[in-house]
Amino acid sequence: MAMSGVKLTESCMSTYNDIQKSKKHRYAIFMIKDGQIDVEKVGDRNNSFEDYLSDLHQKDGEAEDCRYGLYDYEYKYNPDGAESTFKSKIFLMSWCPDSSRIKKKMLYSSSFDTLKRAFVGVHKVIQANDKSECAQDAVEEILRSTDRN
């Protein structure tokens, strides 16, 4: 297996634990910088999905840029004949828009496994290449598809 050789910084793991265990942030955005995956930004628990998307969708000069996103998503769950409850699922997203630079796309695609392996306990992994694929309704549909009534 070819590895990209990209390592995670310490802050990637502590931020993951902050989200997964401590519920300290709503989301985190990761970027590859100087051969390492690092935390670029964290979103407050009160931040919206729109805030997440605007932090995820960055530019590299004129071109779209790539990022990884981790999000603790909460939604209302209505099982048949039972009271509705809130569910929380954490998803990990790779955002590699089709229009981003080829070298960037290759780097982010080949390094995604490193994050997936490190973040044990993520409910869903989503690969988005188009803004429609990271829209809230598209993401929620994916997360709900694993619910059992």
Adjacent-strand bridge partners of 59: 64
To the nearest 10°, the Cα dihedral for 105, 139, 27, 116? -50
Written as one letter, the residue type at 41 is K
pLDDT of residue 4: 58
For each of the chain's 149 residues, which pLDDT tens digit applies? Answer: 445 579 999 999 999 999 999 999 999 999 999 999 999 999 999 999 999 999 999 999 999 999 999 999 999 998 888 888 999 999 999 999 999 999 999 999 999 999 999 999 999 999 999 999 999 999 999 999 988 75
**Structural domain span for residue 114:** 7-144
SS3 for 125-140 is EEEECCHHHHCHHHHH
pLDDT of residue 5: 77
pLDDT of residue 146: 83
Domain count, the chain: 1
Residue 1 lies in a domain: no
Residue 2 lies in a domain: no
CATH number, position 16? 3.40.20.10
Burial 67-86 (b: 16+ CB within 10 A, else e): bbbbbbbeeebeeeeeeeee
pLDDT of residue 131: 96
